[in-house]
Structure 1
Amino acid sequence: MGCPLRSDYRSLSLWHETADDDWAPRPALPGDRDADVAIVGAGFTGLWTALYLARADPTLRIAVVEAESAGFGASGRNGGWASALFPASHASVAKRSSRQKALALHGAMRASVDEVLRAAEEEGIDARAAKGGTVVLARSRAQWTRARAEVAEARAWGLGEDDVRLLDAAEATGVLAGTRVRGATYTPDCAAIHPARLVRGLADAVVRRGVALYEQTPATRISAGTVVTRHGNLRAERVIRATEGYTPTLDGERRRLIPVYSLIIATEPLPADVWEQIGLRRRETFSDHRHLVIYGQRTADDRLVFGGRGAPYHFGSRIRPAYDRVPAVFDALHATLVDLFPVVRGAAITHRWGGALGIARDWTASVGLDPTSGLGWAGGYVGDGVTTTNLAGRTLADLVLGRDTELTRLPWVGHRSRSWEPEPLRWLGINAGLRGMTWADREEERTGRPSRIARLVSPFIH
């Protein structure tokens, strides 16, 4: 999938280093081969799909090709949220389908959080998971306005406090003692996980079930019935694209999804007295209601992992190892973390990393299979893929097997986003939008009112 092959996988992130895995690549594709189902990409999407297919029909010949080693990309180095977040609002999903179908998709996402945990346990994978939910702080008057609006919208959709609820300042601080807290929203539908342990466990699980996993086998082109790789052609009746942020490296796919980088830092393990001041006693994941996304979790070994947007989109959808580490963004993340929790000012930052996530032009994830060509796909998760990939994998398995199920009738199935604009338009638009969200947050800090800038730049990134 375009990136230079490497062998020092443990250096990619905290998760890669602490996955209790030597990351030794499995053998590459040994020349031309035939299969019933070919899957391109051994991240969460590809591996969940392979797992559910192998469970459903052990006689299927399933082959997965991976450019590097399973879990190399976003699946192995994300923020570790297995959440029910879907990268499109209920209203936008309903506009393309119906209110009932939008709610069905939301319900499926909620159920998928538990399915991730159940499937991991069934396969003997210790993902260091804790389902503590997510707390999203409101730390300004404008953020508090958005928090209340979010809960009011949920109630208008018939969703109760078991789905999302509003916390006042005292309740919010009791969960997470950030600075300047006015309140928060809370949902139980999220688990903190160690993503690399999960993705590596899935790779082992599919191989145990007879799936052929060919690593260090970059695919260069996908067409009906064939995956062209550097080591030969993989022929199959069904071909599934599961390449997410690396999709632009495939011939003819440069404008399908764009890679946008998200960067993360991690502290050393923090002592008990520091955690007593911060909170997160159930390992809740956390964020706040600013425009430029931030996210964090308390790890099983008591580190703070904290990430966010802010890195630029690179012209021509380029993906480079150098883009994983941007010192200015790491410094900004650290400053934000200390602003949230001054008690961690002296804590050492032991790990800094990043990676590319995939975004469709309408910011809507999709999954599907063209029965005529046999080409399937899933992706465009906008960074909310840990759980969504599981739903995608189960859905793709049903589609490949020709099943008509509740999953195959969900409204994201068969959705096709339009292509991104050619360069330099997308470079200008995306980076203007990202920069604008930073300005919007500063405007709100200064005025206390919802940002006018956010309304102006929103069309560039939605």
Structure 2
Amino acid sequence: MDPVHALRDACPTPFWLDDPGRPQATSALVGDTCCDLLVVGGGYSGLWTALIAKERDPSRDVVLIEGEEIGWAASGRNGGFCESSLTHGLGNGFERWPDELAELERLGIRNLQAIEDTIKGYGIECDWERTGALNVATEPYQVDDLHEMAALAARYGSEQTVLDADQTRAEINSPTFLGALRDDEGTAMLNPARLAWGLKQVCLDLGVRIHERTRATAVEETGPGITVRTPYGRVLADRVALATNAFPSLVKRHRLYTVPVYDYALMTEPLTDEQFASVGWYNRQGFSDAANQFHYVRLSTDNRILWGGYDTLYHYRGRVRAEHDQRPETFATLARHFFRTFPQLEGLRFTHAWGGAIDTCTRFSAFFDTTHRGRVAFAAGFTGLGVGATRFGAEVMLDLLAGECTERTRLEMVRRKPLPFPPEPVRWAGIQATRWSLARADENSGRRNLWLKTLDRLGLGFGS
């Protein structure tokens, strides 16, 4: 049977958001108000910023505004991998900040534990599972890379285990698996929408004033504070944290540093007991493969399989539009790859197929800035690994707004920004050349062409 037939009844809605427990939106801001801290954006970055601000100072008056609903964008649509890495993986961190990578790894592990402590401490029901993860080799040349990454991890204090083909298939049974790198500590699985909704409720309980369906349209300095305009009113704040990520920043100069790219995913119906046994996925780790155009894959609590990634698309001039959320040709590709990986699951149907925008920058990981004499802080560029790293970014923004010199603000990663993207049409042409080159490298045993080698020398990147 053509794998595409498995898509015939797929709902064009993110699985996690298709939930009868989805909370009702709070009211829009109407009229003017003032506060100590205004947070713009109701994804993870903004929610963590508001929550931690109240934990640091319960008397602080915090307002959060969101243009749609809490968690409706990347925070509610992602794969639910919550990783300790703050640098989009150990390899990327080593290439960019080798001298402080040990500190970044330590802070990342501490950050992941703080997320777990928050979830348990406030009773957030988001299906948190500290499963660890596998990075799977599906081509012979990738097996050597696994050993190199294990050695690098050991150098920075992380114990990761290389599995051979039989050991890998004993964990997750696929004829395409030739080996894997297992990390038992650095990744948790969760329900991303329920995490966002849980953080929203905690913020409300702590006294944060949340206004959904309230889009920020402008930010300006007005004497004693910062004014942010919205369609129905203004907010005068002493400090402002911008957490808009894939969407255009209110500060125009920040727009040079990020581009929105589209990522796609499928979710299957629940596996039967027989189907689950054929896969043998008893330790429930999330996994990704080791290609440039990689897939990310995990189980839900009711034993559905989420299958995402591979295609990462940029639209000319960085347009973020709802019609880009559906791309049948990508869904067809993902379906074919799924059944190539798990041929024993032939006949399984996909119930949901969706996509959405994430932000990326030329160094793959978050960057930070302040404007308006230190009264406005900004964080973006999480590049698909923001479920965990956004909490760290929130702490950085709050440190910067307080004018504090901390172990976070002293980091080179925090003090320096990535190289900006060039203007159009060079930006679009460069991204397309990079996507083509990455695909060619996957087809040629990982060999990087002149274009990719040039980007490597310049410290530029593009990925999901």
* Fold shared by both chains (TM-score > 0.5): yes
1:41 counterpart residue number: 41
The alignment's TM-score, normalised by the length of structure 1, stands at 0.89
1:190 pairs with 2:187? yes
1:425 counterpart residue number: 426
Whole-Å separation in 2 of the counterparts to 1:279 and 1:412: 40
CA distance 1:199–1:89, shift in 2 (3 Å): closer
Kept in 2: contact 1:50–1:206 (CA 8 A): yes
- SS of structure 1 residue aligned to 2:420: coil
1:171 pairs with 2:167? yes
Shift of residue 387, structure 1, vs aligned partner: 0.3
1:73 counterpart residue number: 73
Shift of residue 153, structure 1, vs aligned partner: 2.6
1:153 pairs with 2:173? no
What's the CA shift string for 1:54-86, capped at 9, x where partnerless?
Answer: 111111111111010010110111010001233
Letter in 2 for 1:141: P
Whole-Å separation in 2 of the counterparts to 1:43 and 1:55: 18
1:221 counterpart residue number: 218
Whole-Å separation in 2 of the counterparts to 1:397 and 1:248: 18
Whole-Å separation in 2 of the counterparts to 1:102 and 1:400: 25
1:107 counterpart residue number: 106
Shift of residue 107, structure 1, vs aligned partner: 1.5
Kept in 2: contact 1:258–1:359 (CA 8 A): yes
Letter in 2 for 1:211: V
CA distance 1:409–1:281, shift in 2 (3 Å): farther
Whole-Å separation in 2 of the counterparts to 1:244 and 1:83: 18
Shift of residue 218, structure 1, vs aligned partner: 1.1
Kept in 2: contact 1:19–1:197 (CA 8 A): no
Kept in 1: contact 2:31–2:232 (CA 8 A): yes
CA distance 1:297–1:45, shift in 2 (3 Å): same
What's the CA shift string for 1:367-406, capped at 9, x where partnerless?
Answer: 3545823110112111000000111123333443454443
Shift of residue 185, structure 1, vs aligned partner: 0.5
1:322 pairs with 2:323? yes
Kept in 1: contact 2:374–2:400 (CA 8 A): no
1:416 pairs with 2:417? yes
| The 10-residue stretch of structure 1 (411-420 or 309-318) with the greater mean CA deviation from structure 2 | 411-420
CA distance 1:256–1:160, shift in 2 (3 Å): closer
Shift of residue 264, structure 1, vs aligned partner: 0.5
Letter in 1 for 2:368: V
1:26 counterpart residue number: 26
What's the CA shift string for 1:78-100, capped at 9, x where partnerless?
Answer: 0100012334565765676662x
Whole-Å separation in 2 of the counterparts to 1:353 and 1:364: 24
Kept in 2: contact 1:67–1:215 (CA 8 A): yes
Letter in 2 for 1:70: I
- SS of structure 1 residue aligned to 2:256: coil
Whole-Å separation in 1 of the counterparts to 2:328 and 2:12: 17
1:333 pairs with 2:334? yes
What are structure 1's unaligned runs of at least 5 residues?
A: 1-9
Whole-Å separation in 1 of the counterparts to 2:98 and 2:309: 32
Letter in 2 for 1:135: L
- SS of structure 1 residue aligned to 2:247: helix
Whole-Å separation in 2 of the counterparts to 1:262 and 1:49: 25
Shift of residue 24, structure 1, vs aligned partner: 2.8
1:142 counterpart residue number: 141
| The 10-residue stretch of structure 1 (226-235 or 53-62) with the greater mean CA deviation from structure 2 | 226-235
Whole-Å separation in 1 of the counterparts to 2:81 and 2:93: 22
Whole-Å separation in 1 of the counterparts to 2:53 and 2:436: 42
CA distance 1:179–1:94, shift in 2 (3 Å): closer
- SS of structure 1 residue aligned to 2:292: coil
Kept in 2: contact 1:248–1:258 (CA 8 A): no
CA distance 1:11–1:235, shift in 2 (3 Å): farther
2:8 counterpart residue number: none
| Number of aligned residue pairs | 444
1:434 pairs with 2:435? yes
Kept in 2: contact 1:139–1:179 (CA 8 A): no
CA distance 1:223–1:309, shift in 2 (3 Å): farther
CA distance 1:90–1:135, shift in 2 (3 Å): closer
Whole-Å separation in 1 of the counterparts to 2:287 and 2:454: 25
| The 10-residue stretch of structure 1 (35-44 or 372-381) with the greater mean CA deviation from structure 2 | 372-381
What's the CA shift string for 1:137-190, capped at 9, x where partnerless?
Answer: 1111121122222223333x34342xx221122221121112232211011210
CA distance 1:249–1:145, shift in 2 (3 Å): farther
- SS of structure 2 residue aligned to 1:265: strand
CA distance 1:171–1:58, shift in 2 (3 Å): same
| The 10-residue stretch of structure 1 (345-354 or 82-91) with the greater mean CA deviation from structure 2 | 82-91
2:126 counterpart residue number: 127
Whole-Å separation in 2 of the counterparts to 1:53 and 1:154: 33
Kept in 2: contact 1:130–1:192 (CA 8 A): yes
